Amino acid sequence: MASHIGAGAPAAANPALLHLILDVLDENKAEETVVIDLRGKSALADEMVIASGRSNRHVGAIADKLVEEMKKGGHGKVVVEGLPHCDWVLIDAGDVIVHLFRPEVRAFYNLEKMWSAGRPVEGALS
């Protein structure tokens, strides 16, 4: 289950896309998934999802599957950065930005701390 960072757990701006992303991450054994509500903080997206894979190969496999399922689900064109090395893969799906990291890279950049105004709250989706 994903944690939600922000003031409570507000309804997602694009719940179908967020549900799809969280389901694919769960099915592909992504670890420590966190959803950060960016509304009012950034015009880049409404939500940011951060998750970890155990290795470069695992991060790449999660990213490939996520992009495939988003396209199948009709969620438009997605932009992907970082696939050749898979230390940090960014997937921009418009309303939701997904960051997939190897654990040590995630710890170094610590995006949760940078973007959060609160503490993790269980139940990412209302």
Residue 26 is predicted with a pLDDT of 96
* Six token digits for residue 76: 């438009």
Residue 113 is predicted with a pLDDT of 83
pTM of whole model > 0.85?
A: no
Along the chain (126 residues), what's the average pLDDT of each consecutive run of 10 residues? 52 82 96 89 84 96 96 89 93 93 94 66 47
Distance between start and end Cα atoms, the chain: 13
Task: Say how far apart CA 20 and CA 16 lie, in whole Å.
Answer: 6
* Six token digits for residue 4: 């939600």
Residue 123 is predicted with a pLDDT of 52
Residue 76 is predicted with a pLDDT of 76
Say which CATH architecture domain 3-118 belongs to.
2-Layer Sandwich (3.30)
Our measurement of the distance from residue 97's CA atom to the centroid of its chain's CA atoms, rounded to an integer in Å, reads 6
Q: How many residues does the chain have?
A: 126
**DSSP H stretches of helix in 50-102:** 56-72
